[in-house]
């Protein structure tokens, strides 16, 4: 199968590419480093020629308005138009569990625009909402002075390993067309502030952590289950304790740009 992964050099996209290639598929990892710019449309027609499936695992370079909204609106519209022109049989877009309920955030308002474009696309499309990846928990650690308490949401989360997300996306790309919305999450639920506290410990950050029901998540208020998927979600197998046990202080993945997924 001929598959193109947009954002194929990122944390999630690269895992999708690896798993699809291991399974014997013809896979193109597309990103700005390969001359493909979804924001302008440059390189899309050439890259998508002959593609049967396209997986969009790209992300905005900024979380701030208006840039983030402009990115998701323009890049998604460009991708969908190019896919339709190329005769792509299945378009898969990666989003975030809880997006419709996180509209107090510039980022999630922009993701909601992306979701609507995908759900109303004129070609077969699947919107995948995934929960937070373990690899990005460190990004929720706020800067602050030594011993200054860190206040984080108490809401439940159901995060998963990036490897599990990449594997699930690979299966969706090569399996029967599900269409509509598919959710993916981890095997366990945790309190958000408790997970981040563990990651801080492994970063040798011993500031006290306080669970705060008023604390925001990327600028948005959370309810108890906003960040958890429904009962029909695809579930990864890697538990947080097992994932964390494979890392030591200073060896957790470092990611340059903020991203609740990838």
Does the pLDDT of residue 143 top 70, yes or no?
yes
Domain that holds residue 95: 2-245
In whole angstroms, give the CA distance from residue 31 to residue 227.
28
The first and second tokens of residue 120, run together, are 């109303």
In a domain, 251, yes or no: no
Residue 173 CA neighbour count, 13 Å, CB half: 34
* Helices and strands in the chain: count of H runs, count of E runs: 7, 11
Q: Tens of pLDDT along 116-131?
A: 999 999 999 999 999 9
Domain count, the chain: 1
In a domain, 259, yes or no: no
Q: Are 21 and 30 in contact (CB under 8 A)?
A: no
Task: Give the CATH number, domain containing residue 176.
Answer: 3.40.50.720
Strand ranges inside the chain, DSSP E: 2-6, 26-30, 53-56, 90-96, 125-130, 150-152, 156-157, 180-185, 190-191, 209-211, 234-235
Cα-Cα-Cα-Cα torsion 11, 14, 20, 21, nearest 10 degrees, comes to -150
In a domain, 95, yes or no: yes
Q: Tens of pLDDT along 193-242?
A: 999 999 898 888 889 999 999 999 999 999 999 999 999 999 999 999 99
In a domain, 255, yes or no: no
In a domain, 252, yes or no: no
pTM value is 0.91
Q: Tens of pLDDT along 35-53?
A: 999 999 999 999 999 999 9
């Amino acid at each position: 199968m001929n598959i193109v992964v947009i954002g194929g050099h990122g944390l999630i996209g690269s895992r999708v590419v690896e798993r699809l290639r291991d399974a014997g598929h013809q896979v193109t990892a597309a990103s700005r480093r390969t001359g493909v710019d979804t924001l302008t449309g440059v390189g899309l027609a050439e890259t998508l020629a002959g593609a049967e499936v396209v997986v969009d695992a790209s992300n905005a370079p900024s979380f701030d308005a208006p840039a983030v909204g402009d990115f998701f609106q323009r890049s998604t519209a460009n991708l969908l138009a190019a896919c339709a022109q190329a005769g792509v049989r299945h378009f898969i877009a990666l989003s975030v569990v809880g997006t419709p309920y996180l509209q107090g955030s510039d980022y999630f308002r922009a993701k909601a625009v992306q979701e609507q474009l995908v759900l109303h696309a004129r070609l077969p499309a699947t919107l995948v909402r995934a929960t937070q990846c373990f690899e990005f928990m460190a990004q929720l650690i706020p800067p602050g002075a030594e011993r200054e308490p860190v206040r984080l949401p108490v809401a439940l989360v159901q995060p998963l390993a990036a490897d599990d997300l990449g594997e699930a996306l690979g299966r969706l790309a090569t399996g029967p067309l599900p269409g509509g919305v598919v959710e993916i999450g981890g095997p366990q639920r945790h309190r958000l502030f408790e997970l981040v506290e563990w990651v801080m410990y492994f970063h040798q950050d011993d500031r006290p952590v306080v669970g705060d029901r008023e604390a925001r998540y990327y600028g948005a208020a959370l309810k108890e289950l906003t960040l958890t998927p429904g009962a029909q979600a695809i579930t990864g197998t890697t538990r947080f304790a097992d994932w964390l046990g494979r890392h030591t202080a200073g060896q957790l993945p470092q990611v340059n740009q903020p991203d609740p997924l990838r």
